[in-house]
Structures are given as structure tokens and as C-alpha cells.
Amino acid sequence: MLELCFSQSARGGLRCAQHCGGGGRKVFGVIVGRDDGRPVTRKEIRQAQKQAQQKREALDREAIPLGGTPSDVLELSLGLDMEDIREPLGEARRELLRRWYDGNDEAADQDWQETLESADRLRACGTGDAVRIWVDHTPSSACGLLHAASILEKTGAAVSVVPLPRWREEGKAVVSYQGWGEVEPELFGHFLSREESVPPRILGVMASRWRELQRENAPLRAVVNGRVRSVGEDFYDDLIRRHIPEGQTKIALIIGDVLGREKPGIGDVWLAERIRWMLSAGELRMVREDPERFYRSVVERA
């Protein structure tokens, strides 16, 4: 069984999920802070550590291992909801992804090579192979699914999808999810009950929709009323404007508010690009530019 996902965080979760439980994860981190900015006491730190340990032990007891080996987990992290998609695995897409790595070309090239290898593994599938696709609520995942369908359409492989639920009850709390990268590895196995097979005819319809999107080749693709649609480059601009405060602010704070409060399902890269456009259009004014880290630059409304 090949496991396919569309983000690095989901790939990491799936690999951990293969053999989770039984005290497998010994290391975890705890972040403790105050909303009012006051220093955290040692007692509060110990309490947070205790709660985190209890949660880790509970997850360990709940764990349902997926089985398999790390090489079974494939990732097509291509960000296909953004920019030109005529050649999803071509040089233009590679250069686009390189920009997202903020100058770390070595890591970008390594991840690109792994992506190409994942695509080759999918193309090499036959009638005796099975591919399970983990799909979430992000536009990149929705586009990734259609692209994967175009690769698998003629292979004869048995294809299934595991859709991420919108929420999960956790005691008295309700946890909401947007991407598989937010899910603890111990819980992946619990969602196998949601697995659905994708008949060849449906796979063909999905592949056909991908080819339509490629012909349209819009600046962006978004999920609108449950369907992937081509949209304009300004699709998310109003969300950005909603979180530009009066006075001066760091670009990182604007992007953080949009991602945290609006949960648009896209990454920070496109939001940063649109803020650059707002600066060039005169909608925003650069107050203090950080030449090394754009996100640390300070802007204000023009």
C-alpha cells in the first residue's frame, strides 16, 4: 500500500503513524506563554509539562499503527493551487518552489528530487498496486488530488481516499482540523473508517477536471462550494485588508492574523506576494524595510 499526501508535515505524520503507539514517541516539546506578556512561573511550566505528558500517554494508548515502511509514503508537495500549472513537474514549478525556500536551494533541490521520485512511483503502479490518498481541506490538497488522478488514471491501480474530518471531539473539547499536518500521528489510524475507494470512472472525471484547470491556467485555484475553481490573483486580498491595522505593523503579524483567524487553507507565500503587490500599487507604504527578512519589515496603510 502506497500512502500519498500533499505536504511535508503530512508526510512526517504518516511516517510516524506507521509504527506509533507502545511508547514509540519519547520526545515532545511544550510551549508555554502568557497573553499579557508576563514571565511564566516554574509552577506553570511544570503544570504544562505534566498536562502534555498525560496527553502523550493518552495518545499512545489510542494509537492505531498504519503499518508499512517510510518508503511507502509518497509526497507531491507542489503548491498547485498557485500560479502556472501547465507543467506541474516542470522546471518552472521547480523554480517557483525554490523561491519558497528563501535561498535554501540545497533543501529545495533535495525535496524536488523526492517529489519527482514520488511521481515516478505513481506512474509505475499497475493493477496489483494500491494507493491510499490522504486529502484535507486545503486548496493545495484539492488540486493535488486532481493532479494525482491524472497520473494514476491509466495505471489500473486500486485508488482510495481518506478525507480529513472537519473536527474531532476530544473529551469536552472540539478540535478542528484543516490539514493532515495538524493531526497527531497516533490518530491517523482512527480515520481509516472514512476511507473510500475511487472507481476508475470517477478517477477519469477527476483527471479530466485537472486538464480543464490546466487549460484555464489561472493565477490561483480555490475550493468554492466544494469544487476546485480557477480564481483571480486578488482572491484573498480582502482577507489581507481585513487584518491590516491602523498604524504601523510588521508584515509577519498581518500574515499570522490572516492564517490564524481566517484559516484560508493557503500558506504564507502567496499572502506575502500580495502584500508586495499592495506595496507596489501604493495601497501600503513601507515604513522600515528589512532587506534580509521581508516578513520583519514594517508597513502601514498609505
pLDDT (tens digit per residue) in 172-194: 888 888 899 999 999 999 999 99
Q: What would the mean pLDDT of 50-78 be, rounded to a whole number? A: 83
For residue 34, what pLDDT is reported?
Answer: 55
What confidence category does residue 283 fall into, taking pLDDT thresholds of 50, 70 and 90?
very high
Q: What would the mean pLDDT of 222-247 be, rounded to a whole number? A: 95
Q: What would the mean pLDDT of 88-101 be, rounded to a whole number? A: 90
Residue 37, pLDDT > 70, answer: no
Global pTM? 0.86
Classify strands 220-224 and 249-250 as parallel, antiparallel or unpaired.
Answer: unpaired
Residue appearing with cell numbers 490572516: 258
| 186 within 8 A of 222, measured Cβ to Cβ | no
What confidence category does residue 35 fall into, taking pLDDT thresholds of 50, 70 and 90?
low
**Widest distance between CA atoms in the chain:** 61
Q: What would the mean pLDDT of 122-139 be, rounded to a whole number? A: 96
In whole angstroms, give the CA distance from residue 20 to residue 190.
Answer: 12
If you average pLDDT over each of 19-23, 59-63, 157-161, 224-228, which comes out highest? 157-161
Residue 195, pLDDT > 80, answer: yes
% of the chain surpassing 70 pLDDT: 90
Q: Which 3 state secondary structure label does DSSP give 237?
A: helix
Q: What would the mean pLDDT of 30-51 be, rounded to a whole number? A: 66
